[in-house]
Structure 1
Amino acid sequence: MNNVTMKGKDTISAKLAECFITIGGNRYNFMQMIDFEGRIDKSKTTVPILGRIMEGNKTVGLAGSFSATAHYNQSIFRQALLDYKNTGIDPYFEIQITNNDPSSDAGRQTIVFLDCNTDGGVLAKFDADGEYLDEEIEGTFEDFKMPESFSLLNGMV
């Protein structure tokens, strides 16, 4: 038996990534991010099919959301909330995430999340018993693109 397996070096390091946020015409290197996850959820409906006991399933839409944890050391999203309160204009923005572990043959992947909008956010905080402050950032996005995708690893095809 000649079972081809993945090499350990081809895993992607969790720490070797970049995050850029473009909001209000400014592009920021969001190096304060600790973690980030952007996901798509499918909306499905069941489909009755004559002659089958099992129902079918049909995807009828998509919904995008993201969640992140960042060090509490920037005011960009707080300023966006303040601007919305004062003007009624809710700012939408773009998030670009690139994973790039040079030791992996998988290469780079970049996903750009478009028309992002936060669900709210932390205005102020402290923790007299803590070591450092971080904050959760959650929101939605309405579109995405993938200008760079991982390479197929040797043995996948």
Structure 2
Amino acid sequence: MSLRSRDVISGKEGRLFLDGEEMAQIKSFEATVEKNKEEVPIMGRRMMGHKTNGASGSGTMTLHKVTSQMVKIMIDYVKTGVDPYFTLQSVLDDKTSGRGTERVTLYEVNFDSAKVAGLDAETAALEEEVPFTFEDLDLPEELRSDFN
């Protein structure tokens, strides 16, 4: 089977939800799982072996500055000491590709930092970049079975 250009999925056909509420101000979003590995020396081999012993999740989202949502989250933490955790769901649905809808859900999302104030006379549209970590993730069963 050959690749058809229409099957390439457009990243513009996506949406992001924070605890079930759509984040209309999202500009870009990326989440990555990185495997934690330890080196395993093996007798008789010059190359080092590697054993996976866990994983960690992190990511970044870039937002158009249209609300004070991230500022409020950080102020609430600073004032109360309660560190909030969220669920993020990325929905990718390019109707032209024919691939179907992909929903990746991230659990126990915790924001690392957020810009609480910023001015820029040379920028027409302010943005904020928000790094985060997450502790679990899921993909609907029907999409996971696509890989088997």
> Structure 2 length as normaliser, TM-score?
0.91
| Within-5 A mapping of 1:63-74 | 63-74=56-67
1:27-83 CA-to-partner distances (Å, cap 9, x unmatched) read: 321011000000011111111223322221111110100111110112222111111
Please list every run of at least 4 consecutive aligned residues from structure 1 whose deviation after the TM superposition is greater than 6 angstroms: none
In the alignment of these two chains, the number of paired residues is 147
Identity of aligned pairs, percent?
35
Partner residue in 1 for 2:132: 139
Q: What is the alpha-carbon distance in structure 2 between the residues aligned to residue 109 and residue 51 of structure 1? A: 45
Does 1:93 pair with 2:90?
A: no
Q: Give the secondary-structure state (helix, strand or coil) at the position aligned to 1:149.
A: helix
Unpaired segments ≥5 residues, structure 1: none
Question: 1:105: how far off?
Answer: 2.4
Larger displacement relative to structure 2 (114-123 or 73-82): 73-82
Change (3 A) 1:90 1:15: same
CA contact (8 A) 2:70 2:116 kept: no
Whichever residue aligns with residue 33 of structure 1, its letter is I
Partner residue in 2 for 1:9: 6
Question: 1:88: how far off?
Answer: 0.5
**Which of 24, 31, 50 is residue 38 of structure 1 equivalent to?**
31
Q: Which has the higher helix share?
A: 2
Question: 1:18: how far off?
Answer: 1.1
Q: What is the alpha-carbon distance in structure 2 between the residues aligned to residue 33 and residue 143 of structure 1? A: 22
Question: 1:120: how far off?
Answer: 1.4
Larger displacement relative to structure 2 (4-13 or 142-151): 142-151
Q: What is the alpha-carbon distance in structure 2 between the residues aligned to residue 89 and residue 100 of structure 1? A: 35
Change (3 A) 1:44 1:88: same
Does 1:102 pair with 2:95?
A: yes
Change (3 A) 1:121 1:72: same
Unpaired segments ≥5 residues, structure 2: none
Partner residue in 2 for 1:18: 15
> Structure 1 length as normaliser, TM-score?
0.86
Does 1:51 pair with 2:44?
A: yes
1:89-143 CA-to-partner distances (Å, cap 9, x unmatched) read: 0111111001110111221111011101111111111222221111101110011
